[in-house]
Structure 1
Amino acid sequence: MNDHQASALPSPSAGPYLQPVRGVALCAIGALALAGFAWVVRGVWEVRLAVAGEPASGPPDQGDGVHRPLNSLEDSYHLVSSVGGFLVVVCALAFLSWLNRVRENARLVAGAPARYAGIWVYAGWIVPIANLWIPRGLVVDVHQKSAPGARLPRVVNVWWGLWLVGLFSGVGLVYSDSTDEVIGRAYSEVWPLLASDLAVVGAAVAAIFVVRAVTAVQERQGRERVSP
């Protein structure tokens, strides 16, 4: 082995290689941008419904299980809502893939177990009460282990606050009303719908900056580990 080859190898003290994160980060950022855009479109359609006004035949959900035929605008809102729901699923898969990768890298950097067991990467978002803090805790743990002593980026708290508003507002990501009932609300009380949409879009944008910040820290760690 010549001197040039030897200099290209990581030093013995560099520690284990970190998994590359740029690819999964770009996928997560792209998916977050698409999901945020879908919610902007959803808000635009809700404004269109409010401006058009409720038809003389009343809301689509007439009560007692009776639904009148939808007009073209209401039908297109159903399409917008369905596409938005699909993009949210894609976004969740991409974000969790990124979170899994950076979580494993953080464990390698710190040489210590992650704060939360692996199951919480998935269950933390859906288990009642636990979903109020565990997803944020996962990201915080990754950042602390990846950059010991560094201040947590403020955008993490901004992201989490907006996420909770969008999730639990009753008209955001999780709501019990059917799409027809949401259309009825757009006719009668559109502002709560728009406020919730704004929180979801804000959470998506903030999450992009969270992904960028954590990814940058880990890429810096990766470069240091392969330096001669």
Structure 2
Amino acid sequence: MTEEEDIAQSAARTLAYQPVQVTGWLAAGGLLLAGLAWLARGVWEIRLAVAGEPAAGPPDQGDGVHRPLNSLEDSYHLVSSAGGVLVFLCAMLFLSWLFRLRDNARVLSGDAPKYAGIWVFAGWFVPVVNLWFPRGIVVDAFRGSVPGGRLPTSVNVWWGLWLVGMLTGVGIVYRDSTDQIIERAYTEGWQLQLSDAFVIAAAVAGAIAVRAVTTAQVARIRGLQEADTRMAESV
């Protein structure tokens, strides 16, 4: 390959890079906002536990019967709904970052991603595979970006905390209704609060992991671009 072809190839590679640094900051910020939303939920759940279950029993009384909510329970619904909006925003920012990270890793490595693009979404929800696919996608993008580089510890910490939160049933993706969570706050408060703590810690660790992986990829891209510039100047 001639020097002119090398320069042309370098220019094409540069154009193929997706801007990932700002997206990484936004994704990390979104995770921290989600953590704050879960902290607010935790505070309200402590308030519910301290207040104690009303004499009328839990909000969901079975067989489709729901009693009227008291003011504290009603405010928990509002906090939970607001948190849901922030979590959705966090998910969109995280996925936007992850797609860009994967695209850049493909350009840097010259190899196709290990996981098909559909798993960037579906990997969070399909049973069993959701235990490792999302982490695997991040790890695959990191290794494609920084061959031989050491995976940031924060990635494993984030994923471990995420799994604990998810498997206890109060992770960011959970199955219980808000009224069922209220009942849990009354009957198993400390377990619920412990699970919330894992979710909040996972959000913080996730933000750190996003920044670490993004920084590593950006450093590799900049290094290649500087090398390409020096090569072009020497022609």
TM-score (normalised: structure 2): 0.88
* C-alpha displacement of 1:56: 2.1
| Partner Cα separation in structure 2 for residue 218 and residue 224 of structure 1 | 10
**What letter corresponds to residue 90 of structure 2 in structure 1?**
C
**Which residue number in structure 2 is paired with residue 46 of structure 1?**
45
User: In angstroms, what is the RMSD of aligned CA positions?
Assistant: 1.6
Q: Which has the higher contact order (CA 8 A, sep 6+)?
A: 1
Where 2:151 maps in the other structure, the secondary structure is coil
Letter paired with 2:77: H
Q: Deviation at 1:32?
A: 0.7
Matched-pair identity in %: 61
What is the CA–CA distance in structure 1 between the aligned matches of 2:167 and 2:118, rounded to whole Å?
Answer: 23
Name the counterpart of 1:5. none
Q: Quote the Cα distance in structure 1 between the aligned partners of 2:9 and 2:223.
A: 11
TM-score by length of 1: 0.91
Q: Which runs of 5+ in 2 are unaligned?
A: 1-5, 230-235
Could you say which residue in structure 2 is the equivalent of 1:163? 162
Q: Does 2:207 correspond to 1:205?
A: no
Give 1:196 deviation, angstroms: 1.3
The answer to whether the 8 Å contact 2:45/2:182 transfers is: yes
Could you report, residue by residue, the CA deviation over 1:66-97 in whole angstroms, capped at 9, with x for unpaired residues? 21111111000001111112211111111010
* Mapping 1:10-89, distance limit 5 Å: 14=10, 16-17=13-14, 18-89=17-88
Q: Does the Cα contact within 8 Å between 1:116 and 1:138 map onto a contact in 2? A: yes
Q: Which residue pairs with 1:217 in the alignment?
A: 216
Measure the CA separation in 1 of the matches of 2:173 and 2:21.
30
Give yes or no for contact 2:152–2:213 (8 Å, CA) kept in 1: no
The equivalent residue for 2:232 is none
The aligned runs of 1:85-164 (5 Å cut-off) are 85-164=84-163
Q: Aligned partners of 1:134, 1:73: CA distance in 2, in Å? A: 39
Q: Aligned partners of 1:174, 1:220: CA distance in 2, in Å?
A: 33
Aligned residue pair count: 219
The separation in 1 between residues aligned to 2:10 and 2:173, in whole angstroms, is 45
The answer to whether the 8 Å contact 2:164/2:195 transfers is yes
Q: Is the 8 A contact 1:60 1:68 kept in 2?
A: yes
- What is the alpha-carbon distance in structure 1 between the residues aligned to residue 163 and residue 94 of structure 2? 17
| 1:174-193 aligned within 5 A | 174-193=173-192
Structure 1 window deviating more from structure 2 (55-64 vs 65-74): it is: 55-64
Asked if 1 retains the 8 angstrom alpha-carbon contact of 2:162 and 2:171, the reply is: no
Tell me the CA shift for residue 11 of structure 1.
5.0
Name whichever structure is richer in helix by fraction.
Answer: 2
